[in-house]
Every structure is written in C-alpha cells, then in structure tokens.
Amino acid sequence: MILRHFLHVYDFNSETLRHLLDQALALKKNPVQPLLAGKSLGLIFEKPSTRTRVSFEMGMAQLGGSVISLQNSEMGLNSREQVKDISRVLSRYVDMVMIRAYHHRDILEFAAYATVPVINGLSDLHHPCQGLADALTILEKKGPLQGLKLCYIGDGNNVCRSLLEIGTRLGMNVVVCCPQGYEPDMMGVSASISHAPTHAVKDADVIYTDVWTSMGQEKEFAKRMADFEGFAVTTELVAKAKRDVIVMHCLPAHRDQEITDAVMESARSVVFDQAENRMHAQKSLLLHLMGVSL
C-alpha cells in the first residue's frame, strides 16, 4: 500500500479531492458499510475536541473498524515522550493515526516518522478535515463548486487557510474579509482580501465565519473584540448577499459575537449539516488512505 498522509488540503490534487467528495456523498446515502473491518484508527488529542472525536469514532464504527482515543495527559507529547518515538510506536499498533495538536511542526514530525497514514485533525496552521467537510456541504447545497463565490469573514486562521486551499483547488472564488493585520498567509492560494464586510458579501453564494479568538489566544480576547467590531455576520449583512446564500460556521460558535443567534437559527444557516458532514467526508478520507474505494 502506498503511504499517504492528509496534513494539508494541498496534499491532494483537485481530481482526488473531487473523488473524495463524490465518495462522501455516496457514503452519506449508505452510511453503514464494513469496508474497513479489521482496521484500526488511533486518535491523539492534545487539544479538546467534540466534533473531531465523535465524527472519527462514529465514522470508523460505521466502516466496521475500531478506534482508540488518547488524550495528551496520557501521552505527554514532547514532555513525557518525544513525538518521533510516539509515532514509531503507534505505527506498530494501529493502521492509521489522527492527531490534533497545538503546533503544526509536531504533526509534520509525527508524519515524518510514521509508517502508517497520518491525518491532521487540527493544528495552529491548518484544519484540512474541516475544509473537506466544508466543500462537501457547499457541493451538497449549491451544486458544482466551480465559480461559486465564498466570502469568509473573520480571522485568517487555520480554518481560513484550509478553506482557501480547497477553494483554490476546486475553482471557487474566495474573498477573505478581515480587519487590517488579520490577513491569512496567501502562499499558494488564490483569493481576494477585503476589509469591508458589506462590500465583500455582495453576490456571495456562501458566507462563512469562525470565532475571533481561537484556543490559545485567550489573552488577546479584549483586543480582538475591539479589532473585529463591525465584522459580525448579522441578518442585515446576510441580506446584502445573494437571496439564496448559505451561512456556515465550523463550530464551536460564540453566538452574538462573530455570528448572531438569529443568523445561526435562520433558514440560511447550514451549520449543523456542515457539522454532520465532518463524519461523511472523513469516512471517505479514511477509505482513500487505506486504498479502499466503494
């Protein structure tokens, strides 16, 4: 079997990404298939998790495989034991590993020493599994992705970077709207930058937002709240996009900060379909990494 990792969206070309999305749609229609019977997935959590843990555990269960979840308090990445040692040991026990870590460099090191496929479940720089689920949700709700306008409003964080990567790969027109100084790294991606939300959302097919203060940035809360004033996704802002615009958020949401409660609960919101699609997209990914197709 060819050793594949999924550490960034750009690890896969557009053809592979489209295959993963089409396969995820098929899996969603017929979710319980024992295609990975006898296979195992190790989950490592240095950061807290709700959707990532449950979606991987239930997804693997539906595919007939088994899962073991490990918290950092049990493992001690770079404290009790070095990353490269944990990687080589777990590679002897399980068929795949998903790691959710604070530092992207740790995930890269883990993958460098692993002899099984490694999945980035989130790092400070990238969130590729979220990007894959986001693209699946947009495809499901809006049809072919080519030419759609996606407006991301918020911090140029890990979610934004992965969204830019998958948007570039799949032909969406991505606009990132953020305050000065919060722009994402644009290396290798194609997008427009705006600092005016009302202008950015014009003709948008999709409006996407995320928290203004991510895990590990709590000390910056007051400054970020001031800097992001005027960047909330409100009913009034949504009304300036296309009439059939959908609104997305990767969760957890700080309601009435980056997005109002009214928008979260509106008919335009696909937030919970998006959360469900983490499981379907990741099931497709797991099959691909194991060299299995429907």
Query: What confidence tens digit (pLDDT) does each residue in 22-31 have?
Result: 999 999 999 9
Q: Give dist(CA 281, CA 55) in Å, integer.
A: 9
Q: Is 127 an active-site residue?
A: yes
- Angle at which helix 128-142 crosses helix 271-289, to 10 degrees, equals 120
Q: Is 130 an active-site residue?
A: yes
Q: Is 100 an active-site residue?
A: yes
Note the pLDDT tens digit of each residue in 114-129. Answer: 999 999 999 999 999 9
Q: In 83-180, which ranges are E strands?
A: 96-100, 118-122, 149-153, 173-177
Mean pLDDT of 3-12: 96
pTM of the model: 0.96
Mean pLDDT of 221-247: 97
Helix (H) or strand (E) holding 177: strand 173-177
Sign of CA dihedral 77, 1, 31, 249: positive
pLDDT at 216: 67
For the record, the structure tokens of 64 come out as 């007939």
For the record, the structure tokens of 76 come out as 């001690």
Mean pLDDT of 60-71: 96
* Sheet bearing 173-177, strands edge to edge: 192-194, 173-177, 149-153, 206-209, 246-249
Q: Which of 5, 51, 100, 280 is catalytic?
A: 100
Q: Which of 5, 250, 282, 288 is catalytic?
A: 250
Q: Which domains, ranges and CATH numbers included, belong to the chain?
A: 31-126 (3.40.50.1370), 130-275 (3.40.50.1370)
C-alpha distances in Å from residue 187, one per residue of 164, 175, 194: 10, 15, 17
User: Which of 124, 138, 108 has the alpha carbon at shortest distance from 11?
Assistant: 108
Q: Which of 8, 51, 126, 127 is catalytic?
A: 127
Q: Is 80 an active-site residue?
A: no
Over the chain, what is the mean pLDDT?
95
- Kindly report which listed range (214-218, 236-240, 244-248) carries the lowest average pLDDT score: 214-218
Which residue did the predictor score with more confidence, 149 or 49? 149
For 210-223, b where at least 16 C-beta lie within 10 A, e where not — what string? bbbbbeeeeeeeee
Mean pLDDT of 136-159: 98
Q: Which of 210, 249, 268, 282 is catalytic?
A: 210
pLDDT at position 219 over 90? no
- Kindly report which listed range (69-78, 159-168, 172-181, 240-249) carries the lowest average pLDDT score: 69-78
Contact 166, 206 (CB under 8 A): no
Q: Is 33 an active-site residue?
A: no
Q: Is 177 an active-site residue?
A: no
pLDDT at 159: 97
259 secondary structure, DSSP code: B
pLDDT band at 242 (very low <50, low <70, confident <90, very high): very high
Q: Give dist(CA 202, CA 241) in Å, integer.
A: 5
- Angle at which helix 104-113 crosses helix 83-90, to 10 degrees, equals 50
